[in-house]
A and B are shown apart, each in its own frame.
Chain A
Amino acid sequence: MKSIVALADCNSFYASCERAMRPDLDGCPIVVLSNNDTMVVAASAEAKAMGIDLGVPLFKIQPLIKKHGIAVFSSNYTLYADLSERVMETMARFVMRYEVYSIDEAFLSLSEFADLDLTHYGKTIREAVKREVGIPVSVGIAGTKTLSKVATKVAKKLPNGVYDIRGNEKAILEKFPVEDVWGIGWQYTKLLHRWGVSTALDFTRLPERWVQKHMTVDGLRTQMELKGIPCLPLQEIRPTRKQMVVSRGFGKVVGVREELEEALCDYATLAAWKLRREGLAAKTISIFIMTSPFRSGPQYANITTARFPEATNSTVAFIRIIRAILPRIYRSGYAYRKAGVILPELCNEKLIQGNLFVSFLERKEQRLLQAIDKINDRWGREVVHFGAVGLVQPWAMRRERLSPCFTTNWGELPVAYVS
């Protein structure tokens, strides 16, 4: 069976989520800000047309915001995660095999439907997602994953949002900048430009031996895929998570150890909860603290690692160890801007080496955590938490323009007016 794959990519996903239940924002330019509301991480097509690029700091676009009435949002990852799941579930209905590639992209296998008019089928998928979840997607259809990425870029510019590149590969690749090819980073771009390769088509014409020598076997795969030879199969099962990182910048400068400790315990609480939900446990933990290299003043950054006596996903164990090891790296007199918890070695919680002497206390602790998880699952995350994470949290992330979590919080449902 000949391979046919579609890439379904949500248009300006975060911005689209923000307006999914806000008809007042139809056609209105929208930007979504990074953690701490510092810069733009997503922009709707209307905002992009006004010259707003991703990565621009908020203060630089303030005049534009005022002038055009741009809607500004803090990133609401709770909402985006839920709508992403809905998008994926809806698309999954139309195919037998698919790979969730990122929060807003999925590869769909269309090989099984080769006899259909696939442009039409792509439109059907697109319309279903738009109507049922309210999110617009573009669909690029091709013989390989890498070509489907190219096709999606073309699809984004078409009014019907669907493009089947098969049969037209040469004409498209001839005008497709090599730096926009999936898998070609900026370093290879520099190399290729030096060798006079500027389009994706030029790249397909390079001798295979040269590509493998200069760009490893990964570069060769990219080249083969552009030529229509599938080298990257669908990864239907998500690989088990090997590590976890929870890290945030602070909403304000933090100097005292107690506040750093609170922040780290808060991140560890989130990490431990995620581990429990995914049935994983951590063998080691690293914590880091750092000042901001973008600010004047003395700079400092440090990291330290500790091993748990036994792999664990207990919030209590995390808090205990953070309190023990933070003094190793904490130095007073610095303006800290960021901290994080890294769990570099994870294992399945069922494989925790049976410790014959699991104490009565630990078993009680497990029951306590199960109870806390149950309460928080029902009433909202962090309704019940450990005192170690602080009550006031003066260091907390700035999210002044957060939209309601209307799919996950009873108190934040969208309103429909009776008239």
Chain B
Amino acid sequence: MKFTGFANPSEQFAEKRLDLNTLLVRHPAATFLLRAKGEDSKNLGICSGDILVVDRSIQPGDNALVVAAVEGTLRLSRIRAKNGKLLLPIAGEARVVGVVTAVIHFPG
């Protein structure tokens, strides 16, 4: 005689295990990962070495954390509303590359 075991009673409750991609990446084709570098910034909530999830498909709103192209480098900045206009508090020419939608931080 051979026992094959009981059917698993919890089987019908099984769901797919959580996948961080579903939480962190809303638009896969437009999402790029960047690495933060420089001095830790309490103001921006970013530490050097953090991985930034950058979505290029969404429009930045007021207070959005963005990656901007400034004088040939990529820099982190926060959008500020001034007189109804959204501005980057950066001197010189700046172009928004994408919005940081999540920050992955590994505690040291």
Least CB distance from B74 to A in Å reads 4
Whether B41 lies near A413 (C-beta < 8 A) is no
For B75, list chain A residues within 8 Å (CB).
416-419
Q: Which of A386-417 contact B (CB under 8 A)?
A: 406-407, 413-417
Given contacts A90-B29, A131-B56, A418-B44, contact A24 B35 (CB under 8 A): no
Q: How far is the CA of A414 from the CA of B30 in the complex (A)?
A: 15
Q: How far is the CA of A207 from the CA of B30 in the complex (A)?
A: 49
Whether B39 lies near A418 (C-beta < 8 A) is yes
Whether B41 lies near A133 (C-beta < 8 A) is no
In addition to A21-B97, A89-B29, 13 A-B residue pairs with Cβ atoms within 8 Å of each other are A21-B74, A24-B72, A86-B29, A90-B29, A128-B57, A132-B56, A133-B30, A414-B35, A415-B35, A416-B34, A418-B36, A418-B76, A419-B76
Least CB distance from A135 to B in Å reads 11
Q: Which of A128, A134, A419 lies at the interface centre, i.e. has the most chain B CB atoms within 10 A of its CB?
A: A419
Checking B51, B56, B76 against A417 with a beta-carbon cut-off of 8 angstroms, the contacting residue is B76
Whether B34 lies near A415 (C-beta < 8 A) is yes
Residue of A nearest to B38 (CB): A418
Given contacts A132-B29, A133-B30, contact A414 B57 (CB under 8 A): no
For B39, list chain A residues within 8 Å (CB).
418-419
Residue of A nearest to B30 (CB): A132
Beta-carbon contacts of A156-185 to B below 8 Å, as 1s and 0s? 000000000000000000000000000000
Residue of B nearest to A418 (CB): B38
Residue of A nearest to B35 (CB): A413
Q: How far is the CA of A324 from the CA of B85 in the complex (A)?
A: 71
Beta-carbon contacts of A9-25 to B below 8 Å, as 1s and 0s? 00000000000010110
Beta-carbon contacts of A57-91 to B below 8 Å, as 1s and 0s? 00000000000000000000000000001100110
Q: List 18 A-B contacts (CB under 8 A).
A: A26-B69, A26-B72, A85-B29, A132-B27, A133-B29, A414-B34, A414-B35, A414-B74, A415-B34, A415-B35, A415-B37, A416-B36, A417-B36, A417-B37, A417-B38, A418-B39, A418-B75, A419-B39
Q: How far is the CA of A416 from the CA of B57 in the complex (A)?
A: 18
Least CB distance from A46 to B in Å reads 16
Given contacts A415-B34, A415-B35, A417-B37, contact A89 B28 (CB under 8 A): yes
Interface size of A as a range: 20 to 34
Q: How far is the CA of A128 from the CA of B58 in the complex (A)?
A: 10
Whether A23 lies near B72 (C-beta < 8 A) is yes
Q: How far is the CA of A251 from the CA of B94 in the complex (A)?
A: 42
Q: Is B46 in contact with chain A by the CB < 8 A criterion?
A: yes
Q: How far is the CA of A244 from the CA of B62 in the complex (A)?
A: 51
Residue of A nearest to B90 (CB): A419
Least CB distance from B91 to A in Å reads 11
For A406, list chain B residues within 8 Å (CB).
32
Q: How far is the CA of A134 from the CA of B97 in the complex (A)?
A: 9
Q: How far is the CA of A86 from the CA of B98 in the complex (A)?
A: 15
Q: Which of B43-67 contact A (CB under 8 A)?
A: 44, 46, 48, 51-52, 54, 56-57, 67
Q: Which of B79-106 contact A (CB under 8 A)?
A: 95, 97
Whether A416 lies near B32 (C-beta < 8 A) is no
Q: How far is the CA of A24 from the CA of B28 in the complex (A)?
A: 25
Given contacts A418-B37, A418-B41, contact A413 B51 (CB under 8 A): yes
List the 7 shortest-distance A-B pairs measured between CB atoms, nearest first: A24-B72, A23-B69, A132-B30, A418-B38, A89-B29, A413-B35, A86-B29
Residue of B nearest to A24 (CB): B72
For A418, list chain B residues within 8 Å (CB).
36-41, 44, 46, 48, 75-76
Least CB distance from B34 to A in Å reads 5
Q: How far is the CA of A128 from the CA of B40 in the complex (A)?
A: 33
For A415, list chain B residues within 8 Å (CB).
34-37, 74
Least CB distance from B69 to A in Å reads 3
Least CB distance from A353 to B in Å reads 32
Given contacts A26-B69, A417-B73, contact A134 B56 (CB under 8 A): yes
Residue of B nearest to A411 (CB): B35
Q: How far is the CA of A23 from the CA of B90 in the complex (A)?
A: 16
Whether B74 lies near A132 (C-beta < 8 A) is no
For A132, list chain B residues within 8 Å (CB).
27, 29-30, 56-57
